[in-house]
Copies of this chain bind each other. A is one copy, B any other.
Amino acid sequence: MFFASDNWAGVHPDISTNLSRHAAGIATAYGDGDLDRAVYRRFSEIFERDVQVFFVATGTAANALSMSALNRIGGVAFCHSEAHMNVDEFGASGFYTGGARMSPVPGPLGRMNPKALDQAIDRYSRDLVPAGQPMAVTITQATEVGTVYTVDDVKAIAEISRRHGLPLHMDGARFANAIAATGVTPAEMTWKSGVDIISFGATKNGCWMADAVVILNPDVAKDLRLLRQRAGQTFSKARFISAQFEAYFTDGLWLRMAGHANAMAARLAETIEDAPAGRLAWLPQANEVFAILDHAKAEKLQAAGAKFYEWGVPQGFEGHLGDNEAIYRFVASFATTQQEIDQLGHLIG
């Protein structure tokens, strides 16, 4: 019963096998080998556009390096107030940018409110230098609380960003889950809707270390190769990241894995709704389920071996929490089984 995080899961066999397949052989280093180039082209096919791909160490590094590529002096980036970049990345973006700031924007259930975004940017638009220079807007897809921006949601954010002359970044640590959930193409979800640059995460979705910054609009971020070099993240044997992505994109593996995780989350949600002792905090849209449990019940589940964490109360939560209750997060992954869900359902009772 592993629901602690999708990064507790291992590696899909197809990816593991492909890594082994490429183990021998000798190739040009630093991401300039044949396999690397093939994978970059594959990204361009996936996104239906010539994109630039930069492998980086982690999702946090992808976000922080994206911000450093969009950086301005006295820079201010606008993100949801509960965004991973704002509350869970130890100030990495501030470090990589030499002090750029995150301006938190409210919005219900992990999604930035477009009007609130507009107002937040407006505060910097009065030609008052000391306040700071707006530099970027960033949204998380799927969000931290398991919800998903629709294409129209993304377009609404992009429209405001564009009006203020700001590039739009997407933190896609769970991008595959959002694509699988909505059924739209990666192109529609991103550059066709106004997204300029994306942190493309595959680690949580069945790879073992595969994160990239993908530049969709070459006008917004020119120096990423150099910024990554200075950050010590130009991998010598980059082809083993390429090998993961090669398998990831073969026969739609990435969407099959994400689809499985989403489906498992949906079943888990049903199971919790059906259980007398549990109820959902809100409806899941991707691979994360947030349930309200009383503390005693949660402890009993954990004592029985279920892995999951308590979560804070997000903005826009409209439910009711009893005195002895809290919100708990359950994450499904490509490796989650029906059996684990049944077992948990049985225990919730």
From known contacts A58-B232, A230-B99, A236-B7, infer whether A90 and B129 are also in contact, taking CB-CB under 8 Å. Answer: yes
* B101→A101 contact, CB < 8 A: yes
* A91→B102 contact, CB < 8 A: no
- For window 43-69 of A, CB contacts with B under 8 Å fall at 56-65
* B226→A90 contact, CB < 8 A: yes
Q: Name the residue on B nearest A62 (C-beta).
A: B232
- For window 82-110 of A, CB contacts with B under 8 Å fall at 87-102
* B223→A237 contact, CB < 8 A: no
Q: How far is the CB of A213 from chain B (nearest CB, A)?
A: 12
From known contacts A10-B25, A19-B16, A26-B9, infer whether A129 and B229 are also in contact, taking CB-CB under 8 Å. Answer: yes
* B229→A231 contact, CB < 8 A: no
From known contacts A20-B17, A58-B233, A58-B234, infer whether A90 and B10 are also in contact, taking CB-CB under 8 Å. Answer: no
Q: Is A143 an interface residue (CB 8 A)?
A: no
Q: Is A29 an interface residue (CB 8 A)?
A: yes
Q: Is A132 an interface residue (CB 8 A)?
A: yes
- For window 138-180 of A, CB contacts with B under 8 Å fall at none
Q: Is A23 an interface residue (CB 8 A)?
A: yes
* A74→B230 contact, CB < 8 A: yes
Oligomer: number of copies? 4
Q: Name the residue on B nearest A86 (C-beta).
A: B101
Q: Which residues of B contact A24 (CB under 8 A)?
A: 10-11, 13, 335
Q: How large is the interface on A (under 10, 10 to 19, 20 to 34, 35 or more residues)?
A: 35 or more
Q: Name the residue on B nearest A133 (C-beta).
A: B226
- Interface pairs (7), CB distance under 8 Å: A5-B29, A20-B20, A91-B100, A92-B231, A101-B102, A130-B229, A133-B226
Q: Which residues of B contact A100 (CB under 8 A)?
A: 91, 94
- For window 233-272 of A, CB contacts with B under 8 Å fall at 233-237, 240
Alpha-carbon separation in the docked complex, A28 to B263 (Å):
23
Alpha-carbon separation in the docked complex, A60 to B236 (Å):
10
* A90→B229 contact, CB < 8 A: yes
Q: Is A283 an interface residue (CB 8 A)?
A: no
Alpha-carbon separation in the docked complex, A9 to B240 (Å):
12
Q: Is A308 an interface residue (CB 8 A)?
A: no
The digit string for A179-211, where 1 denotes a CB below 8 A from any CB of B, is 000000000000000000000000110001100
* B92→A236 contact, CB < 8 A: no
Q: Name the residue on B nearest A69 (C-beta).
A: B73
* A91→B99 contact, CB < 8 A: yes
Q: How far is the CB of A346 from chain B (nearest CB, A)?
A: 20
Q: Is A2 an interface residue (CB 8 A)?
A: yes
The digit string for A15-38, where 1 denotes a CB below 8 A from any CB of B, is 111011011111111000000000
* A16→B10 contact, CB < 8 A: no
* B232→A57 contact, CB < 8 A: yes
- Select one of B2, B17, B95 contacting A231, CB under 8 A: B95
Q: How far is the CB of A29 from chain B (nearest CB, A)?
A: 5
* A8→B23 contact, CB < 8 A: no
* A240→B208 contact, CB < 8 A: yes
Q: How far is the CB of A208 from chain B (nearest CB, A)?
A: 4
Q: How far is the CB of A170 from chain B (nearest CB, A)?
A: 17
